[in-house]
């Protein structure tokens, strides 16, 4: 299985010092910077647009892992790619033409991801496995940080890892990730862990990131 990667979610960062927060998690050992984009329509919250992503891009060379919780996503893929996204993840539930969106993302020379809400079965990605670089399992209902972990998603992660087989696809989990749930998820086959409050809610980002690497 690929090495464990930690992707702190800046949804939980101090928005008044967002660039400095990104620089801090870079310095303290993150692998990706996870950016939750919400539209107030697909999910009940509003967050970052391309202008914010472009503004914080100079603060790190780490990959920007951009999770689009927006519907529709396809008209905005080029904007997020131009703003500095390295991985662009769209939701299976929000995209009528998922295969086409994944082709567009890869055509923009970005890595393509698909996200699944808690009630969405893993079968939703069965016919796009040759188009994806990353699958993101939501272990909370998307829209807000700080929610409780939904344990049923551990089995979904296990089934997805079996579906992936030897394909070079990363398996990411977002929601309620802490040192305890991280171990369950890694044992089930996840290799990218998104953490918001588990990192930004502490006084020591380096220690918090290290604590989330249960396979280390």
Q: Which residue has the tokens 């107030």?
A: 40
71 labelled catalytic: no
Would you say residue 71 has pLDDT above 60? yes
Q: What is the pLDDT of residues 127-153, one digit of tens each?
A: 999 999 999 999 999 876 667 899 999
Among candidate residues 31, 39, 65, 174, the one labeled active-site is: 174
Core vs surface per residue 93-124: b (16+ CB within 10 A) or e:
bbbeebeebbebbeeeebbbbbbbbeebebeb
**Residue 174: both structure tokens together:** 């977002």
Would you say residue 154 has pLDDT above 90? yes
The CATH class for the domain spanning 5-211 reads alpha beta
Among candidate residues 31, 36, 39, 133, the one labeled active-site is: 36
Q: What is the mean pLDDT of residues 105-113?
A: 98
Q: Are 67 and 115 in contact (CB under 8 A)?
A: yes
Would you say residue 215 has pLDDT above 80? no
Q: What is the pLDDT of residues 11-21, one digit of tens each?
A: 999 999 999 99
- Specify the pLDDT at position 214: 74
Q: What is the pLDDT of residues 158-193, one digit of tens each?
A: 999 999 999 999 999 999 999 999 999 999 999 999
pLDDT grade for 3, boundaries at 50, 70 and 90? confident
First vs last C-alpha separation in the chain: 13
Average pLDDT of the chain?
Answer: 95
- Specify the pLDDT at position 148: 86
Q: What is the mean pLDDT of residues 46-74?
A: 97
Q: Are 9 and 198 in contact (CB under 8 A)?
A: no
Boundaries of every domain in the chain: 5-211
The helix/strand count (H/E) of the chain reads as 8, 8
Measure CA 20 to chain center. 21
Q: Which residue has the tokens 């992936």?
A: 164
Sheet holding 192-195, edge to edge: 5-8, 192-195, 170-174, 134-138, 111-116, 87-91, 64-69, 33-38
Provide the percentage of residues in the chain whose pLDDT is more than 70: 97
pLDDT grade for 126, boundaries at 50, 70 and 90? very high
22/212 Cα distance (integer angstroms): 18
Would you say residue 216 has pLDDT above 50? no
Could you tell me the sign of the dihedral formed by the alpha carbons of 92, 109, 106, 194, in that order? negative
Strand ranges for 77-215 from DSSP E = 87-91, 111-116, 134-138, 170-174, 192-195
174 labelled catalytic: yes
- Specify the pLDDT at position 1: 62
- Residue 83 vs residues 39, 79, 202: alpha-carbon distances, Å: 17, 6, 29
- Specify the pLDDT at position 90: 98
How many of the other CB atoms lie within 10 Å of CB of 71? 16
Q: What is the pTM of this model?
A: 0.96
């Amino acid at each position: 299985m690929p090495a464990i990667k930690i992707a702190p979610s800046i949804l939980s960062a101090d928005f008044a010092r967002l660039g400095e927060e990104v620089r801090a998690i870079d310095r303290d050992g993150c692998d990706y910077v996870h950016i939750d984009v919400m539209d107030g329509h697909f999910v009940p919250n509003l967050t970052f647009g391309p202008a914010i992503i472009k503004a914080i891009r100079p603060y790190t060379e780490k990959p920007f892992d951009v999770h689009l919780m927006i519907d529709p996503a396809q008209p905005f893929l080029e904007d997020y790619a131009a703003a500095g996204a390295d991985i662009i993840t769209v939701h299976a539930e929000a995209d009528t033409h998922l295969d086409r969106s994944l082709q567009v993302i890869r055509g923009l020379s970005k890595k393509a991801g698909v996200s699944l809400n808690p009630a969405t079965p893993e079968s939703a990605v069965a016919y796009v496995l040759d188009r994806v670089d990353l699958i993101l399992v939501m272990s909370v209902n998307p829209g807000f940080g700080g929610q409780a972990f939904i344990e049923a998603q551990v089995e979904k992660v296990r089934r997805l890892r079996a579906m992936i087989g030897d394909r070079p696809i990363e398996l990411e989990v977002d929601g309620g990730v802490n040192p305890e749930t991280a171990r369950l998820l890694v044992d089930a086959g996840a290799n990218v862990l998104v953490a918001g409050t588990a990192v930004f809610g502490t006084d020591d980002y380096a220690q918090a990131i290290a604590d989330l690497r249960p396979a280390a």
